[in-house]
Amino acid sequence: MDKLLIKGGRPLQGEVVISGAKNAALPELCAALLTAEPVTLTNVPRLQDVNTTLKLLRMMGVQAERSEAEPDTVAINASNVTSREATYDLVKTMRASILVLGPLLARFGEAKVSLPGGCAIGSRPVDQHIKGMQAMGAEITVEHGYIHAKTRRLKGARITTDMVTVTGTENLMMAAVLAEGETVLENAAQEPEIPDLAEMLIKMGAKIEGHGTSKILIQGVERLGGVAHRIVPDRIEAGTFLCAVAAAGGDVTLRRARADHLDAVIDKLRDAGATIESGADWIRVKNDKRLRAVGFRTSEYPAFPTDMQAQFMALDCIAEGTARITETIFENRYMHVNELVRLGAKIEVDGHTAVVQGVPQLSGATVMATDLRASASLVIAGLVADGETVVDRIYHLDRGYDQMETKLRGIGADIQRIK
């Protein structure tokens, strides 16, 4: 199992190119199931989750290949879909496999998808995906751990989800584009990956309005065509690098990054004392002093993202003062806390709130990654800790970061992968 060995204490300098967003790539790869015509995605990040999605599509008979000449380009052809099933073996390694449910049901009138089950950050049910598709007329049964869905043709419906759900909104939007009549999605998620998916679907011939707001209107069409689409930059990867540089100190410019998708995180970094400038497709972060601890509360976009909670907490650990952090999206997203404490952090958790009392220095140790963003927070802590930090179980990191250690080495970090 690969590990990362980090020698902390080096400031970071230079430039990093931000990859395409994992959370846009996964639904957009699944959206290719909606058409028999060729789909080309560019700016596809090199991630384990993308490999898993390509494998899932191939198991359905779909041609889905990365270009050898242009590795950020993936060509997909779903003209000959031979299976409408996502098996437990794949869904258990990647929850986002649930995103094939909407497209399969919409185009073929049937789908069999394993229930994802809980994961390291929470129980994460998919009841809203199911409820929405039932409202569109699908017959759904859950048996032997699988969702079995059937319909003649989905019918447009008015759907209000009980809570804001990102993949739920995406799944229902992909189901509705081929349904008969109009669908209204109320309480829709507004994360930038949703308008990115909607724009791809519109280029395929879908009729969608209101994407990027909490009310999405979809007029179903008979069929969709092929498309070439460039995936939006990964705001969470960008936010992770911003926190790393602010914590370790230095001066780094992120290229192909969208500051307008990171307003809440950038505001908090400025409150902490980092200097941030930005243009249309770049963000520059500078810091040469000890930061101030800053509290925040995670919530749906455009508020502070839960996917940045662990990384910002790592920064608070070595800042001056005390920060109060509240996690409102997932019930169990503090698995990194005990590992940060092993590095010398002072953190107390009470329910959904963590109180971080900044310490002047962390000290390197061996720590274990428990989920994707927890892993990133341990890498940031390792970059600022005194001595050597070994981060074990980094397969979590490979699921969602495109060559993180190579990018960090490029800006001066002392970080190596050990096999």
Ligand X SMILES: C=C(OP(=O)(O)O)C(=O)O
> Is 256 exposed, middle or buried, given 0-12, 13-18 or 19+ CB atoms closer than 10 A?
middle
Which one of 109, 122, 137, 212 is in contact with ligand UD1 (CB under 6 A)?
A: 122
Name the closest residue to ligand X (Cβ).
Answer: 307
Instruction: Select the span of 57-65, 77-85, 120-128, 148-156 touching ligand UD1 (CB under 6 A).
Output: 120-128
Which lies closer to ligand UD1 via its Cβ, residue 105 or residue 415? Answer: 105
Q: For residue 100, state whether it binds ligand UD1 (rule: CB under 6 A).
A: no
Which lies closer to ligand UD1 via its Cβ, residue 81 or residue 120? Answer: 120
Query: What does 305-367 look like in DSSP terms, one character per residue?
Result: -GGGHHHHHHHHHTSBSEEEEE--S-TT--TTHHHHHHTT-EEEEETTEEEEE--S--B--EE
Rounded Cα distance, 369 and 6, in Å? 14
- Known binding residue 329? Answer is yes
**Residue 119 known to be catalytic:** yes
Rounded Cα distance, 115 and 141, in Å? 11
Which one of 191, 196, 307, 398 is in contact with ligand X (CB under 6 A)?
A: 307
Q: For residue 125, state whether it binds ligand UD1 (rule: CB under 6 A).
A: yes
Min CB(308)–ligand X separation in Å:
9
Nearest to 129 by CA among 89, 180, 163, 155: 163
Residues that bind ligand UD1 (rule: CB under 6 A) add up to a total of: 19
Which lies closer to ligand X via its Cβ, residue 119 or residue 228? Answer: 119
SS3 string, 55-111, reads HHHHHCCCEEEECCCCCCCEEEECCCCCCCEECHHHHCCCHHHHHHHHHHHHHHCEE
- Contact in structure between 21 and 231 (CB atoms under 8 Å): yes
Phi/psi for 361 (5° steps) reads -150, 145
Site string for ligand X, 314-353 (x = CB under 6 A): ----------------------------------------
Q: For residue 95, state whether it binds ligand X (rule: CB under 6 A).
A: yes
H-assigned helices in 204-345? 235-248, 263-272, 309-317, 337-342
Residues that bind ligand X (rule: CB under 6 A) add up to a total of: 6
Min CB(272)–ligand UD1 separation in Å:
22
Q: For residue 163, state whether it binds ligand UD1 (rule: CB under 6 A).
A: yes
Which lies closer to ligand UD1 via its Cβ, residue 8 or residue 334? Answer: 334
Rounded Cα distance, 375 and 55, in Å? 24
Which one of 54, 56, 104, 329 is in contact with ligand UD1 (CB under 6 A)?
A: 329
Q: For residue 372, state whether it binds ligand X (rule: CB under 6 A).
A: yes
Which lies closer to ligand UD1 via its Cβ, residue 168 or residue 344? Answer: 168
Q: Of ligand UD1, ligand X, none, which one sits near residue 400, judging by CB under 5 to 8 A according to partner kind?
A: ligand X
Pairing of strands 366-368, 353-357: unpaired
- Known binding residue 155? Answer is no
**Other residues' Cβ atoms within 10 Å of the Cβ of residue 143:** 9
Q: Which residues, 6+ apart, have CB-to-CB distance to 265 below 8 Å?
A: 239, 242, 243, 304, 305, 308, 312
Min CB(92)–ligand UD1 separation in Å:
15
Which one of 41, 96, 154, 362 is in contact with ligand X (CB under 6 A)?
A: 96
Q: For residue 23, state whether it binds ligand UD1 (rule: CB under 6 A).
A: yes
Is 161 in a helix, a strand, or coil?
coil
How many CA atoms, within 13 angstroms, populate the side-chain half-sphere of residue 405? 21
How open is the CA angle 37-21-171, to the nearest 5 degrees?
55
Instruction: Select the span of 82-90, 145-153, 160-168, 180-188 touching ligand UD1 (CB under 6 A).
Output: 160-168
Which lies closer to ligand UD1 via its Cβ, residue 166 or residue 272? Answer: 166
Residues in the chain: 419
Instruction: Select the span of 69-77, 123-131, 222-230, 251-259 touching ligand UD1 (CB under 6 A).
Output: 123-131
Rounded Cα distance, 131 and 148, in Å? 13
Which lies closer to ligand UD1 via its Cβ, residue 128 or residue 389? Answer: 128
Phi/psi for 391 (5° steps) reads -105, 115
Which one of 4, 16, 25, 26 is in contact with ligand UD1 (CB under 6 A)?
A: 26
Q: Which residues, 6+ apart, have CB-to-CB distance to 260 below 8 Å?
A: none
Interacting residue ranges for ligand X, rule: CB under 6 A: 95-96, 307, 372-373, 400
Interacting residue ranges for ligand UD1, rule: CB under 6 A: 23, 26, 96, 122, 124-129, 163, 165-168, 306-307, 329-330
Which residues are marked as active site? 119
